[in-house]
Every structure is written in C-alpha cells, then in structure tokens.
Amino acid sequence: MSSLNLKARLPLTYLPDAKILLAAVLYYLSAVLAHSLAFSATSVLPAWPPSGVGFALIILLGRSSWPGIAIGALLANLMGYWNTLNLDQTTIISLSSAIALGLTLESVTGYFFVKRWIKDDYPFKKTKDTFRFLFVALLITLIGSFTGTLTLYMNGILTEELFVESGLRWWVGSVVGILLFTPFILSVAQKRTFSFTTNKGIEGGIFAVCILGFSLLARSGYFNGTLLSSLPYLVIPFLLWLAFRFDLLAAMAVVLATSLLFILFTIQGIGPFLQAQANDSMLLLQIFISVISISTLVVSATVAERSAAQAQLKVFNQNLEEIVQNRTKELNEEIETRKAAEDKLVNTNKELSKRNTELDNFVYSVSHDLRAPIASVLGLINLAKKDDDLQMKNVYLEKINKSAVQQDNFIREILDQSRNSRLELRKEEIQFEPLIQETFDQLAFATTTGTPVEKIITVKQSNAFYNDRWRLKVILNNVISNAIRYRNGRDPVIKINVDIQDHKALLEIEDNGRGIPAEHLEKVCQMFYRATDDGAGSGLGLYIVKEVTEKLQGKIDIASEDGKWTRVTLEIPEFQ
C-alpha cells in the first residue's frame, strides 16, 4: 500500500489520523514479534523488526506518519521494561520515552536519506541504490542503538563494561531487522501483475522438491549431523537462485521465512548456529541473516537493473528498427520520386526530340504546302488574264478553287493539331450516331465529282458515353474524309461500326477504296507522310488522328490491302 492508494480509500479529513494509527499498530505488533524471538539467556534480541517496519512505513506513508512510529515505539518499550526492571513507573516511562524518541529519529533520518540521497521510494531497482540503502541502514541504526544504550547507561541499568557490547548487539539487531523487513514490506507495496508461466512453475516445483529432499535427508541418521552443520551453506545457492529468477518479493519472503525458522530452531537449542554461549549463537545467527539478506538484495537489484536495461535496449531496438524502416521507406519513396523524375525527363527529352523533328518537318511542309497553292493560284490568274476563252476561264477558276480548298484544309489540319496539344480534355456526353451523321453532312461537299458514297452505320450504344466531343469529331472527320477522298470509282462503300462495352468505345471504319500499299502502312501516321503522290492530302490527317487518340489514352490500328480496302480500328476509353 502506498500513500497515494491510501488517499483514494480514506476521506482526506481522517487521512493523517489513519496513517498515524496504522503506523502505531504495525510498529507495536512487530515489537511483539521481536520479543517472542528473544533468547532466554540474554537481554538482547537477535533481530529488532520494528526498525525495519518503522523505516518501511515512513517511506510508504510519508513523513507525517512519524507520531505513529513514536507511539508504537513507546508502547513497545513500556511492554519490554514495565515488569523486567526494578524501577519506579516514572523512571520507566521517561526511559521508554527517550528510547522511543531515538527510534523515531532513526526512522525519520532514514526517510531523509531516502528522499534526498537515494531519491527513490523503492531503492532496489539499481545496484547503486541498493548499496546506498545498506549504508543508510548501517548509519541510521546507530541513532536508535546509541540513544537506547546511552539511556540505559544513564539510568544505571548498564554498567560501563557492558556499554559498548550492549550497544553493538543492539545495533546489529536493528540492522538485521531493517535487512529482513524493510525490503519485504516495500516489495509487497509495489504494484505488480502476477503472471504464471510454465517455466516459472517448473522452477518453483524444482525448488519445493529440493527443500523436501533436504528435509528427508536431515531425518536420516547418516546425513543428519552433516546436513545440519552445512545447512546455511546449502540454503545460500537456493536463495540466490530465487533472487535471480524471481522478483524481490519472492526472494525476501523465503529469506524472511528461513531467518525466522533458524531463529526458532536456535532458541529451541537445535540447528547449525547453536553455540556454547547464547550470545555467540545469536551473533552467528545475525551474521548469517545479514549475509543472505544482503546477497539476496544485491543479486535481485542486479537482475532488476539488467532486466530494465534489456527492456530499454529492446525499446531502443524497436525504435531504431522503426526509424530504419521509416528512413528506408523515405529513401524508397525518394528513389521512386527520382526514378519517376528521370523517366519523366527521358520522356520529355523524347517528346522534345520528336517535337523538334516535327517542327523541322512542319517548317518545310508549311513553306511548301502553303506556298504551292498560292503559287498555283497566282499562275492560274495570270493565265486567265491572257486567255479570252470563257470556257478556259471556268477551268482556271475551278483549279483556283481546288487550290484554295487544299490550302484551307491544310490550315484547318494545322489548327486541329495545335488545338489538340493545347486544349485540356473536356468531358461531354457522346451519342455516336448523330456525331457520325454530322461528320458526313459536313463532308458532303468535300468532293463534288465522282460516284456518291454508300454509308453503312451500325451503332450499339445503350448507355451514355462520356468523352471529348471535339476530339472524337476530329478523328471521325479525318478518317471519313480519307475514305471519301480515296474511294473507288464504281460502288464506294464506307462501313462504320460502333460498339460501347466495358466503358470503352470500339470504332471500326472500313472502306473499299484504293487501299494503302503494305510498305507505307507503318509510316502513314507520321507527320506529313504521304502514301500517294496525287497531292490530294497534306500528310497530316492520320498523324492528327494518332495524336488525338493518344491524347484520349486510346489505341489505333490501321489495316489495308492495296487496291481493295482500308480499315481503321479505334479503341477509346470512357472518361471516369
């Protein structure tokens, strides 16, 4: 129990009184235990548990509990001296009060050292703090033992010859009391979670079997004397094992139980500590209890410190692993970012190289295709001026018109290409059947001579399809105008099939016209590439179709047989 827990269970008004009462009762009960362990042939006790109990209580309950320790010490001394000394009542009360004052000062001084020097209410987590606790125990017990011995000497109860000897015995008994009870009580007050594991259960079983085995061997006539003499040495490894494998509470509980058993055996005249003189037996017993207590405390503190270091190292490793993972993730992301940037740079370079090539071709073709119609028009005008034949003038006008239309188509195609590269995609609802019909209507006067084209249009569209309407119309216009321009002279047919499925538009435009020679199929989509020398086209139409299709993230495929047919297949995904 700690002072914090005590506050939660008691009203604040009664808290100081409750702490004082608890300290007084526990201190007095520990004194009763001490007197029950007294050797009959000596006036000094083998251990003084109240020193350990008082030291532990003032650490747990706080400095304000010192009146309870004083009351308990006063009652304990009155109980010890009331019927044993041939003194008047006033002397016994003053004598008991002085000794109680020294014992109280002993606990308060210990509290001061714990708070100011050790700075931990549970000084058994680190080996350094454990040794400090042992030093404090040796130091503060001098206060109680010196005060008590001096009080007895001043009242004539101790002679000058016995002053030093009695003081040492008192001091050793108080040290033993602190070594046994203070660590045990502080361990009990610690918050802990009890968890049973198979390994700990097996080890506990082994310990119990060993103790039982020693008990049975001790009853054997052959081993009885030997085991009893060597029993203190046999106990030490087991206590160290408990301190190493279990927590301090389990180890100190066994140390306390072992010490009390050895005290009882020695009082009854049996055991390995029995000597000819009672004081010698008691001193040998005190030395043994001190050794096993100190060894257990040091080993337990070392194990606790190592466990804490391992736990910190584990947390550090986990944090380090997390840092490494995060840094690795960041590096991977950075690598991916750099890779993406490099890929983008490569693609940009490729695009720039492509654009430079196209620009060179563009400059050349523009200078040729724009000037050629103008030169033709100028030449025809000069001829028309010189020729008075009206019929020839009409021929000249027709040719001028053809050159103007050719130049207009070329300019329109250049504008389409420019708009495709500059304008953002625009999502619109597409109905393919009216869009195709609108394209045919606009191309109705593209060619004024020749056999009319038969149109066979099949559209399978049950739901709305969303895409860029202007770009789709550019695709249809260029593909259909090529089919019309390069149709055969007898029964030209253009078949258009549209199938909308899985958020894709599959378009197939097929004609039975001149076709494209096989050697030109892979190049017809290049800028300004002409598969024929008739001068009807600019070489931009299919290039624009390819560029627009890629802009829509679609695919284009052109198949043809020279002199028979051409089929353009397009796959256009829907905008999501």
- Residue-wise pLDDT for 289-334, tens only, equals 999 899 889 988 888 888 888 888 888 888 888 888 888 888 888 8
- Residue-wise pLDDT for 470-485, tens only, equals 888 888 888 888 888 8
Whole-number pLDDT of residue 12:
44
- pLDDT over 70 percentage in the chain: 78
Q: What is the 3-class SS of 336-355, one letter each residue?
A: HHHHHHHHHHHHHHHHHHHH
Whole-number pLDDT of residue 242:
76
Whole-number pLDDT of residue 143:
93
Instruction: With a cut of 60, say whether residue 140 has pLDDT above it.
Output: yes
- pLDDT over 90 percentage in the chain: 20
Ramachandran assignment for 473, one of left (phi > 0), alpha (psi -120 to 50 degrees), beta (any other): alpha
Mean pLDDT (whole number) for 87-94: 82
**How far apart (Å, rounded) are the C-alpha atoms in residues 369 and 410?**
8
Whole-number pLDDT of residue 45:
75
85: pLDDT confidence band, cut at 50, 70 and 90? low
9: pLDDT confidence band, cut at 50, 70 and 90? very low
70: pLDDT confidence band, cut at 50, 70 and 90? very high
Q: Which of 3-7, 227-231, 487-491 is most confident?
A: 487-491
Q: Which of 129-143, 217-231, 362-376, 510-524 is most confident?
A: 129-143
Mean pLDDT (whole number) for 423-448: 79
CA-based nearest residue to 54, from 153, 144, 125, 131: 144
**How far apart (Å, rounded) are the C-alpha atoms in residues 251 and 52?**
17
The H-or-E segment that residue 498 falls in is: strand 493-501
Residue 271: how many other CB atoms lie within 10 Å: 19
Instruction: Give me the CATH topology for the region 425-573.
Output: Heat Shock Protein 90 (3.30.565)
Whole-number pLDDT of residue 427:
86
362: pLDDT confidence band, cut at 50, 70 and 90? low
- Residue-wise pLDDT for 111-126, tens only, equals 999 999 998 889 988 8
**How far apart (Å, rounded) are the C-alpha atoms in residues 532 and 485?**
12
Mean pLDDT (whole number) for 498-519: 89
Instruction: With a cut of 50, say whether residue 1 has pLDDT above it.
Output: no
What ranges in 155-247 are assigned the alpha helix state H?
Answer: 160-189, 198-218, 221-245
What pTM value is reported for the model? 0.57
Instruction: With a cut of 70, say whether residue 164 has pLDDT above it.
Output: yes
Whole-number pLDDT of residue 277:
79
Whole-number pLDDT of residue 79:
81
DSSP 63: G
Whole-number pLDDT of residue 3:
45
Mean pLDDT (whole number) for 259-283: 80
**How far apart (Å, rounded) are the C-alpha atoms in residues 344 and 356?**
18
- Residue-wise pLDDT for 382-406, tens only, equals 777 777 777 777 776 777 776 676 6
**How far apart (Å, rounded) are the C-alpha atoms in residues 199 and 96?**
52
Instruction: With a cut of 90, say whether residue 160 has pLDDT above it.
Output: no
| Residue corresponding to tokens 């001490």 | 34
Whole-number pLDDT of residue 13:
47
User: Do 483 and 507 contact (CB within 8 A), yes or no?
Assistant: no
Mean pLDDT (whole number) for 451-471: 87
Bridge pairing between strands 454-460 and 493-501: parallel
Beta bridge partners of 572: 505
Whole-number pLDDT of residue 153:
87
Instruction: With a cut of 70, say whether residue 565 has pLDDT above it.
Output: yes
Mean pLDDT (whole number) for 353-371: 61
| Residue corresponding to tokens 């991977």 | 332
Q: Which of 164-178, 273-287, 360-374, 531-545 is most confident?
A: 164-178
